[in-house]
Structure 1
């Protein structure tokens, strides 16, 4: 009944978002009632790339171009974001690890390596902990996992009824730009094309309310189920931007205290998304770690 009271306004149709931002090699696969958007590029060991909150597979464009000669890279738009859009069931326990299990089965991937940024880091460590037989190595980039104070825009999405009310909101582009610039250690690196991309994805039909449901779910569960980290024995690399204004750099030690086979690297001149700000050096560090002979 409440859904009927909060009609979605200002939404950008999916087909228009695709017209503006779809890749020539974009693919789609039907999983859990969604047409999941992904790219599958290169040959070699499988590396799955998982984006953060209100982001999409586009965040990995530089990494894909740099690493495609060494790996079979699969980047995807996670449920509730990007072209994939809202999950039909909303948010529920183990949503992303169960989804990734079905996704890898559908693509006949028996073993892979993972790299996840922010919310994609949560997806990575939970999947690695619940399905260790499928995961060979893990990279966590400014990953969600422990308590932190979210930016004000995300904080408003944690309020009661926010998943419904967010349907009626058109986020002012100026305010959205101010929040997005906080993601970068050097705000001058935020290009206009990136701002337009992320704004369009935010306004894609269904994404405002589904994104709010993710924030609301995390708030209601008081964070994340870190117990799954105990099951991670795979070699793990924690990457972090020292200038991260969203999730503090002290979380590096927390991850490495929970995950046994863990090491870390900190980038002094990067914020919450080092793979976008410093793609060459972060991709090189990822390549060396993933190809090194440090298997379980």
Structure 2
């Protein structure tokens, strides 16, 4: 599974604006020393300044951190991928919350949610997603998952079809491993290659950014999941069991999960819709948030 360097890329367009506002030297030092943390801080600040609530719910004496905001209707729940946290959805949250009720939790072991005592595997993530949704008290939700989050959301929808009125898979993981093209970021060279595969970034990244990618790739939640990847429950043999309406949104430039994965998901899930996004990589919610929001809103408006 790839490290999602999306947090770092989410920060880059913001740097110039902040520097122009003043404190450029202090900002540069902070970015250099803690680029991932700075990217998360910027995204979190944008959410809170927009009135998004930051909360923690207790599920069986286990805390799950999440953001929530919005108005009405069936909740939209956003599930992030490996190496990320709820802040990766910040742009999409702000767009969707103008009309809809939106939740974005941190998966166990990521962001502000601690590791689950049961370990790092798909079954555990599905269990805690169910507990989180139970705590919200809604009979049905719309699930949106990117990468690992799509894998988790699909497994949840198979086990609990009555709880999901629509499933959105954004460059989802979960198909057989031989389709993946994902270098493990053990050093700067591998980190650069991983970033290129994810977003098609055309220029070399600074060394301090590459070092940050390597550090995050060494997180226990990441390394333990990767170690157990071969025994995870892959989706190939169970796609026919997905009985909920499903929309597959795929960035065509994703080199981690090639476009063949999108076609396999589409063929395997009956009555699914496939939307391809040109010039978009592994993180459509970052690179094409307006288009993703438009796609979700088109369907979700029917359920208000």
- CA gap of 1:149–1:225, structure 2 versus 1, over 3 A, is closer
Which residue of the partner structure matches residue 42 of structure 1? 70
CA distance in 2, matches of 1:126, 1:19: 31
Is residue 2:291 matched to residue 1:281?
A: yes
- CA gap of 1:264–1:93, structure 2 versus 1, over 3 A, is closer
CA distance in 2, matches of 1:239, 1:225: 17
Q: Aligned with 2:56: secondary structure?
A: strand
> What is the aligned length?
257
Deviation at 1:200, TM superposition (A): 11
Q: Aligned with 1:98: secondary structure?
A: helix
CA distance in 2, matches of 1:201, 1:50: 23
Bigger relative CO (Cα 8 Å, ≥ 6 apart): 1
TM-score (norm 1): 0.76
CA distance in 2, matches of 1:276, 1:245: 16
CA distance in 1, matches of 2:138, 2:117: 25
CA distance in 2, matches of 1:187, 1:286: 29
Name which of structure 1's ranges 175-184 and 277-286 shifts more when overlaid on structure 2. 175-184
TM-score (norm 2): 0.74
- CA gap of 1:290–1:191, structure 2 versus 1, over 3 A, is farther
Deviation at 1:261, TM superposition (A): 2.1
Deviation at 1:145, TM superposition (A): 2.0
Deviation at 1:113, TM superposition (A): 0.3
Which residue of the partner structure matches residue 82 of structure 2? 53
Match of 1:31 among 59, 67, 76: 59
Conserved in 2, the CA contact under 8 Å of 1:34 and 1:88?
no
- CA gap of 1:18–1:292, structure 2 versus 1, over 3 A, is closer
- CA gap of 1:84–1:173, structure 2 versus 1, over 3 A, is farther
CA distance in 2, matches of 1:178, 1:152: 7
Is residue 2:138 matched to residue 1:109?
A: yes
Which residues of 2 match residues 98-177 of structure 1 at below 5 A? 98-147=127-176, 148-153=179-184, 176=191
Deviation at 1:17, TM superposition (A): 10
Which residue of the partner structure matches residue 234 of structure 1? 244
1:113-150: CA deviation from partner (whole Å, max 9, x where unpaired): 01100100001111111001100001000001212234
CA distance in 2, matches of 1:58, 1:177: 22
Structure 1: where are the runs of 5+ without partners? 1-11, 155-170
Structure 2: where are the runs of 5+ without partners? 1-33
Match of 2:126 among 87, 97, 104: 97
Deviation at 1:186, TM superposition (A): 4.6
Q: Aligned with 2:103: secondary structure?
A: strand
Is residue 2:245 matched to residue 1:208?
A: no
Deviation at 1:97, TM superposition (A): 1.8
Match of 1:243 among 253, 263, 280: 253
Which residue of the partner structure matches residue 179 of structure 1? 194
Conserved in 2, the CA contact under 8 Å of 1:85 and 1:210?
no
